[in-house]
């Protein structure tokens, strides 16, 4: 029987590992304590869709930095391939890749994190893990090899997680551009009848279970 590996679930501590990257050895998540991390895998170096993704991630690099978030790429290619590929991107697309790329050539990290899906081949799928400063896995996205990711959605999700944590609220669909709430946030439902009666008066909204408010300090 093949070894069964349990991939991390939302709310789990991210597994620890040491890895070779294009910027040297990293100890994960120890080296990124206190930061949010966007760890993402790509199927292979020197492939068209992945090249467009690296360009798009790097184009938004400073936006991720402003959110105290570190981008980290990963595939099962060797580090020599990663180095040559990021050189190619710099020389041909005039884009300097500033984030580290993990060389998981044995596939051990990818297996541990559930980045390899046998039904989609032996390469890593386009996985995205958003990990908070306490090394807790907060969001997972999977895309097949044939579809490139939307980096603006990844940025939006990161901002939403940070906003939810900071204000103890929930965020509606497409926040901050919800179809009928705009950029309002949602108050968590009350846990008793007394609070339920107070909610509409205190916050306003559609019902005691659907109260909203404007954020006081919008960034």
Tens-place pLDDT, residues 158-185:
999 999 999 999 999 999 999 999 999 9
**Residue 219 within a domain:** no
Could you tell me if residue 81 is inside a domain? Answer: yes
Evaluate whether 131 touches 9 at the Cβ level (below 8 Å): no
Q: Structural domain of residue 205, as residue ranges?
A: 168-213
Residues 182 and 127 in one domain: no
| Secondary structure (3-state) at 170 | strand
22 and 130 together in one domain: yes
* Residue 211 is a catalytic residue: no
Within a domain: 160: no
What is the domain-level CATH number for residue 192?
3.30.1020.10
Q: Are residues 24 and 81 in the same domain?
A: yes
Cite the DSSP H helix spans in the chain: 48-59, 61-66, 79-93, 108-112, 151-167, 193-203
| Average pLDDT over the chain, rounded to an integer | 93
The CATH number covering residue 117 comes to 3.40.30.10
In a shared domain, residues 122 and 24? yes
Q: What total of structural domains would you count in the chain? A: 2
- CB contact at 8 A, 74 and 43: no
For residues 47 and 138, state if they share a domain: yes
On whether residue 177 sits in a domain, the answer given is yes
Residue 21 lies in a domain: yes
> What are the pLDDT digits (tens) for 142-151?
998 899 999 9
pLDDT per residue as tens digits for the range 114-138: 888 888 887 888 999 999 999 999 9
Regarding whether 115 and 173 lie in a shared domain, the answer is: no
Looking at the domain assignment, is residue 35 inside a domain? Answer: yes
What is this structure's pTM? 0.93
Same domain for 142 and 191, yes or no, is no
Asked if residues 156 and 163 have their Cβ atoms less than 8 Å apart, the reply is no
Please check whether residue 130 lies inside any domain of the structure. Answer: yes
In a shared domain, residues 74 and 128: yes
Catalytic residue (one of 38, 50, 71, 95): 50
């Amino acid at each position: 029987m093949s070894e069964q590996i349990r991939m991390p679930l939302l709310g789990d501590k991210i597994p620890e590992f040491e890895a070779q990257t294009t910027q040297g050895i990293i100890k994960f998540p120890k080296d990124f304590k206190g930061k949010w991390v966007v760890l993402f895998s790509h199927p292979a170096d020197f492939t068209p869709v992945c090249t467009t993704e690296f360009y798009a991630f790097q184009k938004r690099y400073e936006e991720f930095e402003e959110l105290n978030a570190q981008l980290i790429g990963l595939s099962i290619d060797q580090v020599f391939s990663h180095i040559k590929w990021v050189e190619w991107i710099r020389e041909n697309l005039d884009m300097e890749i500033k984030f580290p790329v993990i060389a998981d050539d044995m596939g051990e990290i990818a297996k541990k994190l559930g980045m390899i899906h046998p039904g989609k081949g032996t390469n890593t799928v386009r996985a995205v893990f958003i990990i908070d400063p306490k090394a807790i896995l907060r969001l997972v996205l999977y895309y097949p090899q044939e579809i490139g990711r939307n980096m603006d959605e990844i940025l939006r999700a990161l901002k939403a997680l940070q906003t939810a944590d900071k204000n103890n609220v929930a965020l509606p669909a497409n926040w901050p551009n919800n179809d009928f709430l705009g950029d309002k946030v949602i108050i968590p439902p009350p846990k008793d009848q007394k609070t339920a009666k107070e909610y509409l008066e205190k916050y306003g909204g559609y019902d005691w279970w659907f109260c909203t408010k404007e954020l006081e300090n919008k960034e």
